[in-house]
Amino acid sequence: MAVKKACESFSKSLIDEVQRWGCMKQTGVSLRYMMEFGSRPTQRNFIISAQFLHKELPIRIARRATELESLPYGLSEKPAVLKVRDWYLDSFRDLRTFPDIKDAKDEKDFTQMIKAIKVRHNNVVPMMALGVQQLKKEKILHDDLDEIHQFLDRFYMSRIGIRMLIGQHVELHNPNPPPHCVGYIDTKMSPMEVAQNATEDARSICLREYGSAPNVTIYGDPNFTFPYVPTHLHTMVFELVKNSLRAVQERFMDSDKVAPPVRIIVADGIEDVTIKVSDEGGGIPRSGLPKIFTYLYSTASSHLDEHSDLSDADAVTMAGYGYGLPISRLYAMYFGGDLQMISMEGYAVMYVQGPTRICICLAWEILRSHCHDVILCFNVDDYDTVEFLN
């Protein structure tokens, strides 16, 4: 396939405009502002929101489109990455050719357009993963790829922000929103309920792949709630539970022993809500720890190739893409948290931290060998943390 630079597929004036907008400063938005602004879904606020997105989205998209043109090691020239670049340039052009938003009709048309942009970018993550897989086949040493890992962190974090802003604006138009929801934000989100839904989704994938799935037990207060984005928490818990189920299933598949359950504990504190996922799937080898948050590492075989049908939204596999953990960490970081891994001999502990407190497993957990603990922690009082920008 012949490689086409953007200047060959798009006009020079568009490329110049992309470079100019890519130098502009982004504007971060806090969870509190999204909740307070969205709690008054008036036509005037819809127009204000659309006007903000009309200016903000081209900046964020242009920054990523510019980077996609200049990646090291030839990543920019991979067919999958070229396709993603074209999606970003098409979206930038759509936004910049849309006229100024002055009234309700303009806002309605703009909302339909950004909905289409969001759909256009649905497969960005697996398409970029395919591009990375194409690079990986060239046997480039892992230690030489820090620049690419840093780019992918920036790229995927930006994608989370873009989809959050578009999704929030679009969902505010929902005439029958779920109870306590302000756009994408559930002001009384039950982490127990989200964990249950994510667990059921992960177990269904495990059943499809292996024919059986370990049980999952969830402990916590079903009445506890806090404001957060349920889709973000679902993504994190789903990925982490999916990893745990695969580890346990593969470890006990040929064993006479009954596979032990994966355990999820939801603990609500004065400042933090903590979700711990524990399994007895053997932990992660110490040699693999430096690689678990990179985009070229997976303990499973890859399911992606040049002939993959990325149009199938239901084609979710247990593992192999190499981006579940790093992207889960980015979702945690988006509003100020973090995801960390600590390992001892035959033991692994993973943390997702809120912005103000580090969560630590109780000492006696460390004595249990061949286990894997994942901890998600969120600050329940600080909603002024502005979304992570780069």
Is residue 364 pLDDT above 70, yes or no? no
Predicted confidence (pLDDT) per residue in 74-109, tens digit? 899 999 999 999 999 999 999 999 999 999 999 999
Q: Is the pTM of this model over 0.95?
A: no
Q: Are residues 83 and 206 located together in one domain of the fold?
A: no
Q: Is 177 within 8 Å of 171 (Cβ atoms)?
A: yes
Locus of tokens 């402990």: 219
Distance CA 386, CA 389 (A): 9
Q: Are residues 147 and 124 in the same domain?
A: yes
* Residue 89 falls inside a structural domain: yes
In this structure, is the dihedral angle defined by the CA atoms of residues 308, 310, 314 and 318, taken in order, positive or negative?
Answer: positive
Burial class (CB in 10 A: 0-12, 13-18, 19+), 357: middle
Looking at 148, 179, 210, the residue that finishes a domain is 179
Q: Clarify whether residues 236 and 324 are in a common domain.
A: yes
Shared domain for 24 and 64, answered yes or no, is: yes
In a domain, 375, yes or no: no
How far is it, in rounded angstroms, from Cα 165 to Cα 183?
A: 10
145: which residues sit within 8 A by CB, 6+ positions away?
Answer: 73, 294, 296
Residue 363 has pLDDT above 70, yes or no: no
Q: Calculate mean pLDDT across residues 47-65.
A: 97
What domain count does the chain have? 2
Instruction: Name the residue with higher pLDDT: 360 or 199.
Output: 199
Residue 55 has pLDDT above 50, yes or no: yes
Same domain, 157 and 273: no
The predicted pLDDT at position 118 comes to 98
Identify whether residues 17 and 158 lie together within a single domain: yes
Same domain, 93 and 227: no
Q: Is 54 domain-assigned?
A: yes
pLDDT at 361: 30
Instruction: Give yes or no for residue 50 having a pLDDT over 80.
Output: yes
Burial label for 239, CB within 10 Å (0-12, 13-18, 19+), is buried
Q: Per-residue pLDDT for 272 more than 70?
A: yes
For position 317, what pLDDT does the model report? Answer: 53
Q: What pLDDT, on the 0 to 100 scale, is given for residue 204?
A: 97
373 in a structural domain: no
pLDDT value of position 273: 77
3-state secondary structure of 181: strand
Confidence at 368, pLDDT banded by 50, 70, 90? very low
Is the model more confident about 370 or about 123?
Answer: 123
Q: Name residues whose C-beta falls within 8 Å of residue 30's C-beta, 6 or more positions apart in sequence.
A: 383, 384, 385, 386, 387
Q: Do 196 and 160 share a structural domain?
A: no
Task: Please tell me the predicted confidence (pLDDT) of residue 199.
Answer: 97
Average pLDDT, the chain: 82
State yes or no: pLDDT of 2 exceeds 70.
no
Amino acid letter, residue 143? D
**111, part of any domain:** yes
Share of the chain above pLDDT 90, in %: 55
User: pLDDT, tens digit, for every residue of 58-69?
Assistant: 999 999 999 999
- Specify the higher pLDDT residue, 302 or 373: 373
Nearest to 245 by CA among 287, 286, 201: 201
For the segment 19-48, the average pLDDT, to the nearest whole number, is 93
Rounded Cα–Cα distance for residues 198 and 134 (Å): 31
| CATH number reported for the structural domain that contains residue 111 in this entry | 1.20.140.20
Q: Which of 170-179, 263-272, 282-291, 360-369 has the highest mean pLDDT?
A: 170-179
Whether residue 236 sits in one domain with residue 159: no
Domain end (from 179, 202, 220): 179
Q: Are residues 281 and 348 in the same domain?
A: yes
Q: How confident is the model at residue 313 (pLDDT cuts 50, 70, 90)?
A: very low
Task: State the Cα–Cα distance between residues 322 and 301, nearest whole angstrom.
Answer: 9
Give me the CATH number covering residue 209: 3.30.565.10
Mean of pLDDT values over 220-228: 92
Q: What is the pLDDT of residue 293?
A: 82
Does 277 or 66 have the greater pLDDT score?
66
Least confident range from 190-199, 289-298, 330-339: namely 289-298
Residue 44 amino acid letter: R
Residues 38 and 115 in one domain: yes
Q: Do 239 and 132 sit in the same domain of this protein?
A: no
pLDDT over 60 at 140, yes or no: no
Q: Which of 101-110, 137-146, 174-183, 233-242 has the lowest mean pLDDT?
A: 137-146
Q: What is the C-alpha to C-alpha distance for residues 216 and 160, in angstroms, rounded to an integer?
A: 28
Q: Is residue 27 part of a domain?
A: yes
The rounded distance, in Å, linking the Cα atoms of 122 and 329 is 19
**Of 146, 179, 212, which one is at a domain's C-terminal end?**
179
With respect to residue 92, please indicate whether it lies within any of the assigned structural domains.
Answer: yes
Domain residue limits at 88: 12-179
135-144: average pLDDT: 64
- List pLDDT tens digits, range 176-200: 999 999 999 999 999 999 999 999 9
Q: Is the pLDDT of residue 349 over 70?
A: no
CB 14 within 8 A of CB 86: no
Question: Tens digits of per-residue pLDDT, 199-215?
Answer: 999 999 999 999 999 99
Q: Given a cut of 80, is residue 298 above it in pLDDT?
A: no
Asked whether residue 229 is domain-assigned, the answer is: yes
- Tell whether the torsion through CA atoms of 242, 230, 376 and 30 is positive or negative: positive
pLDDT for 191: 93
Structural tokens at position 205: 């994938």
